[in-house]
Amino acid sequence: MKALSLRQLTKTYRNGVQALKGIDLDVEQGDFFALLGPNGAGKTTAIGIIASLVNKTSGTALVFGHDTDTELEAAKACLGLVPQELNFNQFEKVSTILVNQAGFYGIPRAVAKERMEHWLHKLQLWEKRDAISRSLSGGMKRRLMIARALIHEPRLLILDEPTAGVDIEVRRTMWEFLRQLNEDGTTIILTTHYLEEAENLCRHIAIIDEGRIIEHDKMATVLRKLHSEVFVLNPRQPVAEVPQLPGYAVKLAADGSIEIEVTKSQNLNEIFAALSARGIEVVSMRNKANRLEELFMRLVEGRDAETGLVKPAATA
Amino acid sequence: MSTEARLTAASVAQRDRRWVGFRTIVIREFNRMVRIWGQTLVPPAITATLYFVIFGSLIGRRIGDMGGVSYMQYIAPGLIMMSVITNSYGNVVSSFFGAKFGRHIEELLVAPLPNWLIVLGYITGGVVRGLLVGLVVTLIALFFTRLHVEHLFVVLAAVLLTSVIFALLGFINAVFAKNFDQISFVPTFILTPMTYLGGVFYSIAMLPVWAQTVSKANPILYMVNAFRYGFLGQSDVNLGLSFALMAVAAVALFAACVWLMEKGTGTRE
């Protein structure tokens, strides 16, 4: 069973902007799915259409087999949404927000209160149950939106940049929570600007750019397409000249570190041997970007080359 | 379980779910009204008291009787109706626009609730506040005068229909409003003048013929007079026509609100 199925989904806004140019997307039940793309690529529009917050121009969207055109209520009942921007009543208490949201999904008040308690404990917000929501910290507000999206126990949870602006500790806790939720059976679709997050959590990935899906596969398959990685080597003594290493693309960074592109057929032993022979001692090494980020940039930049358009920089 | 039994169970489940959803919207609206009681319940009570003191007691004594009753008794139904109109409209316009502005309208848009139910929930919230404030003003009126009810059913039907109509109008205003100025424009520049000129303080029989003709184009005149008829048994306009106009307006406005929600005007663009 597919948790989500989009066919030829298009959206043209009144100002003429074509946000989606006919996207097809399938997400299997139980999957942890990453939907990536640069700013303005159409991710939020696609999510908005699935969640009935944006009117589509054409195409179909099915949530667990329920067509949003003909079985909208059934489709909505399967779906939980954590939007990018805060959208709860800032003057209401934390507990009230959750109990009301459960009510909107037809959950009787007594059951709603039990679930509110359960999710607030799970998301470490129980102590704040009587707090007015605007008094919460940024991370707490994000967790409140997750609790709200889960109050009706949806089969499909869509999170639009849930960890944006939260500190590393909260982000890690949130990852663990989402991983557990997925293991317990909830299908999750995640959009994020932290590509490390997508690489760590998700099993499948789609990359959307300029309203089109340009990549849609298993995470492992997509990452295998990356033929080379750039490593940054820090020498003990600053290097004045670019060391010549036959077969390798080498650059000298302004801070004196060495950037070397290594393809799959090459190996790092050769590089270290060649550098040692030139009297260069390497004290540390790191990836210039993480693997997904590298691929993402290449895919997006590749489209630039085709269209000749100036692209917005992807943030990581 | 047979197919028919399954369908019946599904339809009962859907009805129950919708009922809980509707009740939740109404409870939320009621709680909002109570939470901001200083803005919702107190001002109309103060305004009504001032009207009764100044127009009813001080000026009213010099005016004498109107239509065979004291001026205070004559204006009381009009003042009650005025507060119902203002509060039904004000509740929905501010609550729905506030939900749009704060984006928490999305909590309802993502939920499995039909649009007609969302409209009905907000309208019921507006009607509850309108009637509650109307009751407060009625109690204040009783401090100043005796209120004799001639036709209770007419009183209840007129106040309910009027409240529904203005709650629906408030909803439409909120749907189209893009900023706070646009939710205060209609009440200030359209609603208030129409209410004052809608026979709250006088009988249109006192006006010159041309002004009577103009007044009859004011829908509020029909609502105030229908309500007043319920108390005093007298009206400047035909009672049947008043109720027909109100019923048609309520149905047409409700259909318009649902259509706007289905279309996503102001909410799903």
Average pLDDT, chain B: 91
Q: What is the pLDDT of residue B247?
A: 97
- Per-residue model confidence (pLDDT) at position A308: 35
CB of A52 within 8 Å of any CB in chain B?
yes
Identify the weakest region by mean pLDDT among A20-29, A225-234, A299-308: A299-308
Chain B's closest residue to A102, CA to CA, is: B21
Question: How wide is the angle at C-alpha A37 spanned by C-alphas A36 and A43, nearest 5°?
Answer: 80
CB-CB under 8 Å, B110 with A79? yes
Q: Is the pLDDT of residue A95 over 60?
A: yes
Contact A103 B27 (CB under 8 A): yes
Digit-coded pLDDT (tens) for B88-147: 999 999 999 999 999 999 999 999 999 999 999 999 999 999 999 999 999 999 998 888
Question: Region B157-163: what's the mean pLDDT?
Answer: 97
Query: B107: which chain A residues are within 8 Å (Cβ-Cβ)?
Result: 87-88, 100-101, 104, 148
Give the phi and the psi of residue A156 in degrees, each rounded to 5: -125, 125
Average pLDDT, chain A: 87
Extents of the domains making up chain A: 2-224, 228-287
From chain B, pick out residues whose CB is under 8 angstroms from the CB of A109: 20
Residue of A nearest to B107 (CA): A101
A305, amino acid identity? A
pLDDT value of position A315: 34
pLDDT tens digit sequence for A195-243: 778 888 999 999 898 899 988 889 888 777 666 778 888 888 878 788 8
The average pLDDT across A120-149 equals: 94
Question: Which whole-number Å values give the CA distances from B266 to A152, A171, A246, B203, in the listed order?
Answer: 27, 34, 63, 40
Q: Answer whether residue B23 shows pLDDT above 80.
A: yes
Average pLDDT over residues B148-167: 96
Compute the distance between CA of residue A212 and CA of residue A197 in angstroms, rounded to an integer: 22
pLDDT > 70: percent of chain A = 91
C-beta separation of B137 from B48 below 8 A: yes
What pLDDT is stored for residue A313 in this prediction?
A: 37
Q: Does pLDDT of A302 surpass 70?
A: no
Is any Cβ of chain B less than 8 angstroms from the Cβ of A139?
A: no
Q: What is the pLDDT of residues B184-215, one digit of tens each?
A: 898 889 998 998 898 888 888 888 899 999 99
State the first-to-last Cα distance of chain A, in angstroms, to the nearest integer.
33
Task: Among B21, B102, B268, select the one facing A104 at the smallest CB separation.
Answer: B21
pTM reported for the whole predicted model:
0.85
Residue carrying the six token digits 């249109």: B204
Q: Is A108 on the interface with B (CB under 8 A)?
A: yes
The rounded distance, in Å, linking the Cα atoms of A214 and A232 is: 29
CA A169 to mean position of chain CA atoms: 18
Shortest distance, CA B79 to any CA of chain A (angstroms): 32
Tell me the pLDDT tens digit for each residue of B224-244. Answer: 999 999 999 988 899 999 999
Indicate the DSSP class of residue A93. Answer: B
Name A45's Cβ contacts closer than 8 Å, sequence gap at least 6.
Answer: A11, A19, A20, A54
- Determine the CATH number of domain A2-224: 3.40.50.300
* CA separation for the pair A251, A246 (Å, rounded): 13
Contact list, A98 vs chain B (CB under 8 Å): none
- Which of B18, B31, B264 lies at the smallest CB-CB distance from A106? B18
Measured CA to CA, the distance from residue B162 to residue A10 in angstroms comes to 43
Q: What is the DSSP letter of A51?
A: T
Contact between chains at B103 and A87 (C-beta distance less than 8 A): yes
Cα–Cα distance measured from residue A156 to residue A182, given in angstroms and rounded to the nearest whole number: 10
> Which residue of A49, A72, A104 is the best one to mutate when testing the B interface, meaning the one whose CB has the most B CBs within 10 A?
A104
pLDDT > 80? residue A299: no
Q: Is the pLDDT of residue B261 over 90?
A: yes
At A294, is the pLDDT very low, low, confident or very high (cuts 50, 70, 90)?
Answer: low
Q: Tell me the mean pLDDT in the region B236-256.
A: 96
Residues B206/B229, Cβ–Cβ less than 8 Å: no
- Round to whole Å and give the CA distance between B240 and A213: 62
Angstroms from B254 CA to nearest CA on chain A: 21
Class of domain A228-287: alpha beta
